A = this chain, B = another copy of it.
Amino acid sequence: MVKVGIIGATGYAGAELVRILSGHSQAKILWYGSKSYIDQKYAQVYRNMFRIVEDVCRDDSLKELADQVDVIFTATPQGFLAGVLTEEILSRVKVIDFSADYRIKDAAVYEKWYGIQHRSPQFIPEAVYGLCEINRSQITEKTRLVANPGCYTTCSILTAYPLVKEGLIDPDTLIIDAKSGTSGAGRGAKLPNLYCEVNENIKAYGVAGHRHTPEIEEQLGYAAGRPLTLSFTPHLVPMNRGILVTEYASLRRRGDGSLPSWDEIRAVYDAYYKEEKFIRLLGKGECPETKWVEGSNYVDIGFVVDERTGRIVMMGALDNLVKGAAGQAVQNMNLLFGLPEGEGLELVPLFP
């Protein structure tokens, strides 16, 4: 039984982690860390957990926690983990971090996009970017620190990865138009997240400057074998959960000027994802919808070849709190401890 501690258990991502782990047969949460609700019953903060979780919230001491558990999930703001992580802690416990602190290999890039100083860059080299379907071989029982990917990034990268890797598209033409439910904005009491401000409304935000951009560029750059620059535009959609990405890129033409066929492209996707439990490749003519993956760890991917423009339109959908956060974190935990990768993640999407 893996002993688990959570720092930041009362944010939406932390709460989803609690929900998922409550159905995990080989993990047990010992510590519900929440700076804001210390000594309150967890089930008072999230009443869905009434009669399921009896524990009270505790503070966020990583050091104390390291002695008591096998793995710590930090569902905390940018900069928190980098500010407290030490070799002593890492020598005693594995850490899976939900923030961007260890996702980006170049600390200068991190500091530029996030506007904060990185306080423990010495751990960046060993941190594994926990996109299981891509980096599975690096997520092992020896791994100490996992940088759990962001929600937009997981969806954006997985949707395009095989085509970038195999050179089917020109990566310099890649444009990602992303749409997210509101839980991605967190549980902070801020005016733009009020019901009446979000409901019956859609908007873009962080245009040409959203922090998930360099993370997507870095990972797809590895796939392309060279640095990339791409356009990424997130939008806020009036729904609780779900991310949909619509990605545009020019297909590389063959010597005779023709485009690869849908079937040929699909074969490339199959080569990468056919055996993946959590990636569902949709049939020809089918477009992913966020509702069909809600509450589950699935990513649904589909695409259309546009003969007129020579472009491909790739689409991916996932639940931002599951595959985009807590579900992927549990998937990483399973790999770290040699458990079946899907344990606790057999979550059937809820419809409607």
Contacts and interface: CB of A to CB of B under 8 A. Distances in A.
Interface of A: 12, 15, 19, 22-23, 46-52, 175, 177, 179, 181-183, 187, 189-191, 193-205, 207-208, 229-231, 233, 235, 237-242, 244, 246, 248, 280, 282, 286-296, 300, 304-309, 311, 313, 315, 317, 346, 348-352
B292 A295 contact: no
Given A19-B350, A231-B313, A309-B229, A241 B200 contact: yes
Contact of A175 (B248, B295, B305): B248
Nearest to A307: B208
A352 B183 contact: yes
A101 B180 CA distance: 36
Nearest to A248: B175
A237 B200 CA distance: 9
Contacts of A198: 195
Contacts of A202: 179, 237, 239, 242, 244, 289-290
16 contacts: A47-B289, A47-B292, A48-B351, A183-B196, A187-B191, A189-B191, A195-B195, A197-B352, A203-B287, A204-B244, A207-B287, A208-B306, A231-B309, A237-B238, A238-B238, A295-B295
A315 B207 CA distance: 10
Contact of A208 (B183, B204, B235, B313): B313
B208 A48 contact: no
A348 B22 contact: yes
Contacts of A179: 179, 202, 235, 237
Q: Please give the count of copies of this chain that the complex contains.
A: 4
Nearest to A179: B202
A200 B304 contact: no
B289 A240 contact: no
Given A200-B240, A290-B202, A294-B200, A48 B350 contact: yes
Nearest to A295: B350
Given A182-B195, A200-B241, A238-B238, A46 B304 contact: no
B231 A306 contact: yes
A352 B199 contact: yes
A175 B237 CA distance: 20
Nearest to A203: B289
Given A22-B348, A175-B248, A203-B244, 14 more contacts: A19-B351, A46-B351, A47-B286, A47-B289, A175-B175, A179-B202, A195-B198, A200-B239, A204-B315, A208-B307, A208-B309, A231-B311, A241-B352, A350-B350
A196 B175 contact: no
Contact of A48 (B197, B199, B244, B348): B348
Contacts of A300: 47, 50
Contacts of A199: 182, 195, 199, 238-240, 352
A248 B182 CA distance: 24
A342 to B, nearest CB: 12
